[in-house]
Amino acid sequence: MATYKSLFKVQGTLDDINFYKSEDGYLIRTKGGIDAERIKSDPNFERTRENNAEFGSSATSGKRLRRAILDMVSNAKDSRLSSRLTQVMTRVKNQDATSPRGKRHVAVGIQTPLGKGFLKGFNFNRKAPLEEVLLKEVELNTTTGEMVIQDFIPIQHLSIPEGATHVEFFAGFLNLDFETGDKDFQPSNKVNLPVNGTASTVTLTPLAPATGTGQAFYCIKLTFFQEVNTVLYPLRNGEHNVLHILNVI
Q: Are residues 177 and 227 in the same domain?
A: yes
What is the per-residue pLDDT across 48-87, written as a single tens digit (0 to 9) for each? Answer: 677 678 889 999 999 999 999 999 999 999 999 999 999 9
Q: Among 62, 91, 119, which residue terminates a domain?
A: 119
pLDDT (0 to 100) of residue 81: 97
Q: Are residues 145 and 193 in the same domain?
A: yes
What is the per-residue pLDDT across 207-222, written as a single tens digit (0 to 9) for each? Answer: 999 999 899 999 999 9
Please give the residue range of the domain that contains residue 5.
1-32
- Give the Cα separation of 95 and 110 in Å (integer): 8
- Whether 159 is in a domain gets the answer yes
pLDDT (0 to 100) of residue 178: 97
Mean pLDDT of 159-187: 97
**What is the CA angle 220-226-229, rounded to 5?**
140
Q: Are residues 160 and 227 in the same domain?
A: yes
Total tally of structural domains belonging to the chain: 3
Closest by alpha carbon to 145, among 68, 193, 217, 46?
217
Q: Which CATH number belongs to the domain containing residue 190 in this structure?
A: 2.60.40
Q: Are residues 240 and 224 in the same domain?
A: yes
Q: Are residues 240 and 191 in the same domain?
A: yes
Q: What is the pLDDT confidence band of residue 236, given thresholds at 50, 70 and 90?
A: confident
- Whether 216 is in a domain gets the answer yes
Q: Are residues 108 and 141 in the same domain?
A: no
Q: Are residues 181 and 167 in the same domain?
A: yes
- Give the Cα separation of 173 and 210 in Å (integer): 6
- pLDDT of 7 over the 70 cut: no
Q: Among 119, 138, 163, which residue terminates a domain?
A: 119
Closest by alpha carbon to 222, among 198, 196, 246, 197?
246
- Whether 239 is in a domain gets the answer yes
Mind spelling out the 3-state secondary structure of the chain? CEECCCCCCCCEEECCEEEEEECCEEEEEECCCCCHHHHHHCHHHHHHHHHHHHHHHHHHHHHHHHHHCHHHHCCCCCCCHHHHHHHHHHHHHCCCCCCCCCCCCHHHHCCCHHHHHHHCCCECCCCCCHHHHECCCCEECCCCCCEEEEEECHHHHECCCCCCCEEEEEEEEEEECCCCCCEEEEEEEEEEEECCCCCEEEEECECCCCCCCCEEEEEEEEEEEEEECCEEEECHHHCCCEEEEEEEC
pLDDT (0 to 100) of residue 49: 72
- pLDDT of 88 over the 70 cut: yes
What is the per-residue pLDDT across 12-60, written as a single tens digit (0 to 9) for each? Answer: 565 556 665 666 665 565 555 656 665 455 555 556 677 678 889 999 9
Q: What is the pLDDT confidence band of residue 238, given thresholds at 50, 70 and 90?
A: confident
- Whether 124 is in a domain gets the answer no
Q: Are residues 67 and 140 in the same domain?
A: no
169 in Cβ contact with 202 (< 8 Å): yes
Spacing of C-alpha 56 from chain mean position: 18
Q: Are residues 94 and 149 in the same domain?
A: no
Percentage of the chain beyond pLDDT 90 is 76
Mean pLDDT of 167-189: 97
- Whether 125 is in a domain gets the answer no
Q: Are residues 113 and 163 in the same domain?
A: no
For the chain, give the mean pLDDT.
89
Q: Are residues 111 and 151 in the same domain?
A: no
Q: Are residues 144 and 239 in the same domain?
A: yes
